[in-house]
Amino acid sequence: MKVFALTGAGVSAESGLGTFRSVDGLWSRFDPMRLATPEGFAADPAAVHEFYNLRRRNMAAAAPNAAHFALTELETRLEARGGELFLCTQNIDDLHERAGSRRVWHMHGEIARALCLHCGTRRDWRGDLAVELACPRCGRAGGLRPDVVWFGEVPYGMEEIEAALEAADRFVAIGTSGSVYPAAGFVARAGDLGIPTMEVNLEPSDVAGLFGESLYGPATETVPALVARLLG
Ligand code: OAD
């Protein structure tokens, strides 16, 4: 069996990392147009760095939870049976990797990586970013930004994602509000392809009506239950 799993901020919520669209979510306290767009970065890079530096530090202080570990178990046990898990996350944190997942597709990039706007180099970056820092590759300052996908930018690896969806036997969306495209459109695409779909979330998402099945509750409870079910 090939499983395509899409995860969102809800999978890391119980690790203490905030979601975006809850009542006290990140986008209720911070302006995404200022902090998560290329235009916002061009206008005030220091403010953008401050926002992502804090999130990078919060991530380092957080630990993976039972939902991340359950998905690692799913990957291992599917592979042992000749199957596959395509784990596609909108999250920029590294909690799936720290739980042991070996192949994680970060469609919105990674906060522990930096991208140089001068030379295009992408590299691991665990410390703070700042406007005055020079790129280790080209030596020019002012061009380093978090290697994350902002509003108005194209997510990474859409061709590979489409191919993985086409090859999948099951589609599950976990901890995502279904409000940001193209990820929010995956369930409709899976439906067109005739793939059984399931939503696993705290509450019905914006696209809940498109799923064949649903499981509602905290991810640390629902994801282990989902994995047990998928492994039969
Ligand atoms: P959202 O904050 O939009 O949605 C998080 C979802 O997780 C909501 O539907 C919550 O109900 C659910 N949730 C919260 N706590 C949960 C828990 N303990 N267990 C299970 N579910 C829980 O986050 P995303 O859908 O990931 O993009 O947001 C998508 C994109 O919007 C992000 O990647 C980011 C953001 O703007 C960019 O920054 C480009």
- Residues 23-45 have pLDDT tens digits of 889 999 999 999 999 999 999 99
Q: Residue of the nearest CA to atom 14 in ligand 1? A: 10
Active-site pick, 68, 106, 108, 118: 108
Closest C-alpha to ligand 1, atom 36: 20
According to the model, what pLDDT value does residue 23 have? 86
Q: What is the pTM of this model?
A: 0.97
* Active site (annotated) includes residue 108: yes
User: Tokens representing 210?
Assistant: 């498109």
Instruction: Looking at the CA of residue 36, tell me the nearest atom of ligand 1.
Output: 38
CB contact at 8 A, 100 and 18? no
- State whether the beta carbon of 13 lies less than 6 angstroms from ligand 1: yes
Which residue's alpha carbon is at the smallest distance from atom 25 of ligand 1?
176
How remote is the CA of residue 137 from the centroid of ligand 1, in Å?
A: 34
Dihedrals φ, ψ of 5, to 5°? Answer: -115, 125
Q: Which atom of ligand 1 is nearest to the CA of 183?
A: 29
- DSSP string for residues in the chain: -EEEEEE-THHHHTTT---SSSTT-HHHHS-HHHHSSHHHHHH-HHHHHHHHHHHHHHHHH----HHHHHHHHHHHHHHHTT-EEEEEE---S-HHHHTT-S-EEETTEEEEEEEETTT--EEE--S---TTPBPTTT--BS-EEEEEPPTTSPPTTHHHHHHHHHH-SEEEEES--S-STTGGGHHHHHHHTT--EEEEESS--TTGGG-SEEEES-HHHHHHHHHHHHH-
Please report, as a single letter, which amino acid is at residue 224: P
- Could you tell me if the CB of 201 is within 6 A of ligand 1? yes
The minimum-distance atom of ligand 1 relative to the CA of 203 is: 11
Band of residue 153 on the pLDDT scale cut at 50, 70, 90: very high
Q: 42-95, pLDDT tens digit by residue?
A: 999 999 999 999 999 999 999 999 999 999 999 999 999 999 999 999 999 999
pLDDT confidence of residue 6? 99
